[in-house]
């Protein structure tokens, strides 16, 4: 394993690797290498769509290393959900080991923007460097690791990339999986390539799975040193909110009931709009429905003519029902604090659902559709106390919202029970930080 010498090896390491790989691994590596022209065009197309930052495209090819002196941990979290979940871990690492620098990689523009804000708010901007993760191409993985020379690497949830992991193994970089997530469907898919997944998992120093079910699936695929440590998402603090923005929002709301549709995906907004139309039409009391799309760039197409937060437009006039599209990044905590109830997006379509714990920590009762596979443990805990109910269609969601806005005492009681149900995991980030810090020494 190398240390923080700052030595620049260029693209060294792309030839003569001695790491053992399965036939499937070599075929995958060859296919990724041949696909480089297509991947470059793919990145250019994403940049035109606003899904990549043009100035930072070289990072997706493994370029742009600026290694600090001293020990360096590479921590990779795919997108917003995973990035937010590791913030308590980053704070715990900094308290435990202030000399350790962290290279945090993500794969989305929204996560990069959010991390810049959150890390500054937490006083971690100097201790954590953000980069976009390179695509899983052998040459780009080699450039990345030869430039940054991490002392250890940690991957979050289900980020298993064969070429990046092979590059870690060939360089002797200790690596592990935290908050390991492996659905039954993903496990079945990986079993098609048993040797490939076995070599990826066998190289891990440890696998800290979210749950017993996840741990069992990792073991069945060849994972070693697997433990069910608990879910970092349970240990996250409440989403933040700017106090001045919250006061202004509360003043604009007046006495209106608030229905929040959080982190919606295409195919769900129409249902939310239909629920709003039904309830606004049957009640004399005004209802304000706030839609927060998972991807803010969809804001203009959700409810044409309705005010949008990204354009700095105010809520619909006081005393009136209406739709408000909150198409910004990092403000979901603001709207959970004022909502009477919420719908959790990504659950009416086969996406796996978004994080219901964010609502629970702010005592907001919520409903979710049938597709919440990614948060099964959280859903079970919240359903048990009535903090979350499942709905299959527009009528079910309408009934839920009607009940919550017409009975605020019941809504508040459900929210408080939900908040209580997700407590008790405060020590998890510290426990994981001890394990991760030891990997770099």
* Whole-structure pTM value: 0.84
Per residue in 5-45, pLDDT (tens digit) is: 333 334 444 433 446 688 999 999 999 999 999 999 999 99
Which residue ranges does the chain devote to CATH 3.40.50.11720?
52-235+428-439
Q: How far is CA 292 from CA 27, 274, 299, 344, 353, in A?
A: 42, 16, 8, 10, 14
Which residue ranges does the chain devote to CATH 3.40.50.2000?
243-421
Percent of the chain with pLDDT over 70: 95
Quick one: CATH architecture of 243-421? 3-Layer(aba) Sandwich (3.40)
| Cβ–Cβ < 8 Å for 325, 293 | yes
pLDDT of residue 17: 45
pLDDT of residue 284: 78
pLDDT of residue 11: 47
Q: What is the mean pLDDT of residues 188-199?
A: 93
Choose among 263, 259, 231: nearest CA to 349.
263
Per residue in 314-336, pLDDT (tens digit) is: 999 988 999 999 999 999 999 99
Per residue in 148-167, pLDDT (tens digit) is: 999 999 999 999 999 999 99
Quick one: CATH architecture of 52-235+428-439? 3-Layer(aba) Sandwich (3.40)
Catalytic residues: 82
Q: What is the mean pLDDT of residues 72-90?
A: 95
Name the token pair of 115: 């991390």
Q: What is the mean pLDDT of residues 330-345?
A: 97
pLDDT of residue 19: 62
Q: At residue 435, does pLDDT exceed 50?
A: yes
Residues 107-110: contacts with CB under 8 Å, at least 24 apart:
107/78, 107/79, 107/132, 107/133, 108/51, 108/78, 108/79, 108/80, 109/50, 109/51, 109/52, 109/53, 110/79, 110/80, 110/295, 110/296, 110/329
**28 backbone φψ class: left, alpha, beta (φ>0; ψ -120 to 50):** alpha
Per residue in 378-414, pLDDT (tens digit) is: 999 999 999 999 999 999 999 999 999 999 999 999 9
- Alpha helix positions (H), 306-393: 332-336, 357-361, 376-384
Q: At residue 93, does pLDDT exceed 60?
A: yes
Per residue in 45-73, pLDDT (tens digit) is: 999 999 999 999 999 999 999 999 999 99
Name the token pair of 286: 């005004």
pLDDT of residue 9: 38
| Residues 6 or more apart whose Cβ sits within 8 Å of residue 407 | none
Residues 111-120: contacts with CB under 8 Å, at least 24 apart:
111/77, 111/78, 111/79, 111/80, 111/82, 111/83, 112/53, 113/329, 113/330, 114/80, 114/83, 114/84, 114/329, 114/330, 115/83, 117/330, 118/84, 118/87, 118/240, 118/330, 119/90
Q: What is the mean pLDDT of residues 201-224?
A: 94
Q: What is the mean pLDDT of residues 70-81?
A: 95
């Amino acid at each position: 394993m190398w240390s923080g010498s700052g030595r620049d090896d260029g693209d060294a390491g792309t030839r003569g690797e001695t790491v053992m790989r399965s036939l499937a691994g070599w075929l995958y590596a060859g296919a990724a290498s041949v696909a480089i022209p297509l991947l470059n065009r793919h990145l250019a197309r994403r940049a035109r769509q606003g899904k990549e930052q043009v100035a930072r495209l070289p990072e997706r090819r493994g370029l742009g290393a600026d290694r600090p002196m001293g020990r360096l941990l590479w921590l990779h979290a795919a997108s917003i959900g995973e990035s937010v979940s590791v913030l308590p871990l980053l704070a715990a690492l900094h308290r435990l080991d202030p000399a350790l620098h962290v290279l945090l990689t993500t794969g989305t523009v929204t996560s990069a923007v959010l991390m810049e804000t959150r890390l500054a708010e937490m006083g971690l901007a100097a201790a954590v460097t953000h980069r976009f993760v390179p695509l899983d191409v052998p040459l780009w993985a080699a450039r990345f690791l030869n430039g940054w020379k991490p002392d250890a690497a940690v991957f979050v949830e289900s980020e298993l990339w064969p070429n990046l992991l092979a590059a870690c193994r060939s360089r002797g970089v200790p690596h592990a999986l935290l908050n390991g997530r492996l659905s039954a469907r993903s496990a079945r898919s990986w079993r098609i390539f048993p040797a490939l997944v076995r070599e990826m998992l066998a190289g891990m120093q440890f696998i800290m799975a979210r749950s017993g079910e996840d741990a069992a699936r990792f073991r069945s695929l060849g994972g070693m040193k697997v433990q069910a440590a608990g879910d970092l998402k349970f240990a996250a603090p409440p989403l933040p909110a700017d106090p001045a923005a919250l006061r202004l929002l509360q003043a604009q709301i007046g006495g209106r009931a608030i229905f929040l549709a959080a982190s919606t995906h295409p195919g769900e907004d129409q249902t939310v709009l239909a629920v709003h139309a039904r309830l606004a039409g049957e009640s004399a009391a005004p209802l304000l429905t706030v839609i927060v799309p998972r991807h803010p760039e969809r804001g203009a197409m959700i409810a044409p003519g309705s005010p949008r937060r990204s354009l700095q437009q105010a809520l619909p006039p006081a005393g009136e029902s209406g739709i408000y599209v909150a198409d910004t990044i990092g403000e979901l905590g603001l709207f959970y604090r004022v909502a009477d109830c919420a719908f959790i997006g990504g659950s009416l379509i086969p996406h796996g659902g978004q994080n219901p714990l964010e609502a629970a920590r702010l005592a907001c009762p919520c409903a979710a559709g049938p597709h919440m596979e990614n948060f099964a443990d959280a859903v079970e805990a919240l359903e048990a106390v009535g903090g979350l109910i499942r709905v299959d269609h527009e009528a079910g969601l309408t009934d839920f919202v009607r009940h919550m806005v017409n009975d605020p005492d019941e809504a508040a009681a459900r929210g408080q029970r939900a908040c209580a149900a997700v407590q008790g995991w405060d020590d998890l980030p510290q426990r994981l930080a001890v394990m991760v810090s030891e990997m770099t020494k």
